[in-house]
A and B are shown apart, each in its own frame.
Chain A
């Protein structure tokens, strides 16, 4: 007879195996929870299951998820970023690497306005790749800029991934958002700096905008910049400010944000029935996907803990004699490797709960851990050979651009991300000062 903790560990290995066969994960977790819970708990596993499902339905963090998604989909589908991109291209015109700078800047803003992970790379790729190639930018710089800016949405608040993390870890969503500010904008700033410096040294990689294209009066440029950025500026300001100041809950801020997104789309005359219907359906399905995963994963985690497997696992980890830093880097390495084959939803909802109880033992702040996980997953999505972002870009790039060129372009940005990851851990104040300042200890 095998002991219960061992049974739990077996359940975990079957789960990992099942995930990699490619069956929808939410149901696999639910079924494994029932099948493995039944021998030890009997009928109670059914009660546990319904209670878990109902808890997800009553989760006051996850309720903001559809609203932030709706905001993102409306912004994405309204094509608002086009206008912004073209105005910033002119504004940065005289600088070296003008188009790349504009891409990075607009991508960061889109990261604030959307927070949906995959959309950014495709959107920015369609928008920015053709003008950069036409202007004679090196394919590598263009690819690196697009893939890194397109994935910034994972980290920059109000990121959907951070909501899911907060719901999983049971920490305050506003504190996680406040924590992500420092690393998020530091990374974006370092990207901008890198583009500027490399284009200054090697102008052939990214020349300023050609004179004839810049033949637009400054008053006109500034007007365009104002028209294209003020509405989005107001939206991002309102959403972030009301959350941070605590005027509203994150859910209400998300609702106000999506309401404003509708108004902005209407203001630019981009609002139409098709676009609304598409946004609504995508929101519905993506929310269902994440929340059903939550239903399955929380049953699985409850059975896992009940079998004593969680305790066994912790015993093993503690037996390894790792220090705080050692544990952190081992866990981040595992998360990084999981980021290659898996989507962020699976990693956050299924694997993060395994590490969470250990954070207390190792005196790691769960907010810091969450922000690091976000930086880390972004890095993972940019790391060859699997790098999902590269494949997204390859899908929309002209066929003569090879995957290798995209990979080569990503390395410098990857280095900056790894630097940010280390800075986040060895300089925790960067992340934690804002939440502490705003909400106290």
Chain B
């Protein structure tokens, strides 16, 4: 069980970290475009689309990594005070009640949404360049899948915690100063 948890954590982390790095090209593109516009009078026609693509893809794909680090915001002032086994039972029920219905729906409907866009060869209307949209839409089911997978790891965590009265460890990673 612990090995399965570790394996899924690794997948989420190894997908999440490279996608986090896309923030650097996002920064460079959004610096490059106004620089060209003001100093060389040569604005690009792709920067805006590229920025939205990068931002949208990044935050969706980092979602599972965020979950693996337990960084999705939760109001835990009561939760913290519960005994561990009670926390685990509570979570176990809630993952099935409040997590899987939403995320599975997102995955399926996201897939049909993207497929339709692919079949109609849909292009963006918000910029002159008008790039194709289906790859960005395809991010929704893919990100949904990896979050759901991480959700499975979280369910396994609950089972381990119920058995051993101890939460399995997470990977150590930098955390925001409180």
Contact = CB atoms under 8 A, between A and B. Distances in A.
Contacts of B28: 255, 259
A397 to B, nearest CB: 13
Contact of A343 (B31, B62, B73): B73
28 contacts: A18-B94, A20-B78, A24-B74, A26-B72, A27-B98, A27-B103, A28-B99, A31-B97, A31-B100, A45-B105, A46-B108, A46-B109, A49-B105, A49-B106, A50-B113, A60-B52, A66-B55, A66-B59, A67-B30, A118-B178, A280-B24, A281-B20, A281-B173, A285-B20, A285-B69, A286-B176, A287-B58, A288-B58
Interface string A242-286: 100001100110111011000000000000000000101111111
Contact of B102 (A34, A58, A62, A289): A34
Given A284-B62, A288-B63, A23 B74 contact: yes
Nearest to B35: A256
Contacts of B78: 20-22
Given A285-B16, A341-B75, A280 B65 contact: no
Contact of B34 (A35, A116, A252, A345): A252
A392 B91 contact: no
A256 B26 CA distance: 11
Contact of B76 (A22, A123, A255): A22
Contacts of B97: 31
Given A118-B177, A118-B178, 10 more contacts: A23-B91, A24-B73, A28-B94, A57-B56, A247-B38, A255-B31, A284-B65, A288-B63, A288-B65, A289-B66
Nearest to A296: B102
B98 A23 contact: yes
A31 B98 contact: yes
A25 B60 contact: no
A75 to B, nearest CB: 12
B67 interface: yes
Interface stretch (B2-10, B133-141, B161-169): B133-141
B101 interface: yes
B33 A252 contact: yes
Closest 5 CB pairs of A and B: A284-B20, A22-B79, A57-B56, A255-B30, A30-B102
Interface in B45-97: 51-52, 55-60, 62-63, 65-67, 69, 71-80, 90-91, 94, 97
A140 interface: no
Contacts of A58: 52, 56, 126
A25 B16 CA distance: 20
A70 B99 CA distance: 29
Contact of A255 (B27, B58, B105, B137): B27
Interface in A398-426: none
A306 to B, nearest CB: 16
Given A284-B20, A286-B176, A292-B66, A30 B106 contact: yes
Nearest to A286: B176
Interface in A36-66: 45-47, 49-51, 53-54, 56-58, 60, 62-63, 66
B23 A289 contact: no
A76 B34 CA distance: 26
A292 B63 CA distance: 7
A392 B176 CA distance: 12
Interface in B101-129: 101-103, 105-106, 108-110, 113, 126
B145 interface: no
Contacts of A19: 75
A183 interface: no
Given A21-B79, A30-B102, A252 B24 contact: no
A122 interface: yes
Contacts of A255: 26-31
Contacts of B100: 31
A284 B15 CA distance: 12
A301 B102 CA distance: 15
B132 interface: no
